[in-house]
Amino acid sequence: MRWLILGLLALSLLAGCGKRDIYRDEAFQGETPFAARIQAPVERVKAAVRHALLSQGYLLAAAAQPDMLLGSKEFQDDEERNVVLYFQAAWRDNGDGSATVYATATQQVNSLETARQTAGISLPTLGGISVPAGSTRFQTKISGETIQDKAFYRRFYRLVEEAAGAVR
């Protein structure tokens, strides 16, 4: 019995060693697609970020911080799946007539699932029986990731620059 327990413990340790932590590859580089310097005053940049998201169909939500904006946009791939883009933008005054905009977008894929429902009936002589009571459909998140595409962010920053009247 002792050997069985030791063997199971060894197997569980080995299984844990095969798991790779994704954060170990995080580079924390200075050059990323998540920030851009805009040559315009921070108040114009703030309005331009709002304009850029609204003009592309994003629904805006209040953020916990006054220097941040949250947006979301839904896409329907087919009847069973939808994709939601969540966008977060923040800005900082650089003190030299320019502002830095930080943007992060995540993509969440949802699938429409069906769950069968049953109702239980208990009869004294027969016991309990389950009978079908219909079904319900609900969305389930099947994947999510931060968008890394540099071209995606460049398009956003270019629209912010245009809306802010940024000097190049």
Give a yes or no: residue 6 inside a domain. no
Domain extent, residue 105, equals 33-119+131-164
Per-residue pLDDT averaged across 159-163, rounded? 96
Give a yes or no: residue 136 inside a domain. yes
Number of domains within the chain: 1
- On the question of pLDDT at 23 being above 60, the answer is yes
What is the predicted pLDDT for the residue at 104? 97
Give a yes or no: residue 62 inside a domain. yes
- On the question of pLDDT at 155 being above 70, the answer is yes
What is the predicted pLDDT for the residue at 141? 83
**Strand runs labelled E in 7-153:** 35-38, 59-61, 68-78, 81-93, 99-123, 127-146
CA 151 – CA 155 distance, rounded (Å): 6
Give a yes or no: residue 5 inside a domain. no
Rounded to the nearest integer, the mean pLDDT of the chain is 84
Q: What is the pTM of this model?
A: 0.73
Assign residue 85 the CATH number of its domain.
Answer: 3.30.310
Lowest pLDDT segment from 26-30, 43-47, 54-58, 60-64: 26-30
**Would you say 135 and 115 are in contact if contact means Cβ atoms under 8 Å apart?**
yes
What is the predicted pLDDT for the residue at 168? 61
Res. 28 pLDDT band, cuts 50 70 90: confident
Determine the 3-state secondary structure of 125 from DSSP.
coil
Give a yes or no: residue 148 inside a domain. yes
What is the predicted pLDDT for the residue at 163? 96
Give a yes or no: residue 18 inside a domain. no
What is the predicted pLDDT for the residue at 12? 54
Res. 140 pLDDT band, cuts 50 70 90: confident
Per-residue pLDDT averaged across 131-143, rounded? 74
**Would you say 110 and 142 are in contact if contact means Cβ atoms under 8 Å apart?**
yes
Per-residue pLDDT averaged across 120-142, rounded? 71
Give a yes or no: residue 13 inside a domain. no
Give a yes or no: residue 28 inside a domain. no
Per-residue pLDDT averaged across 123-146, rounded? 74
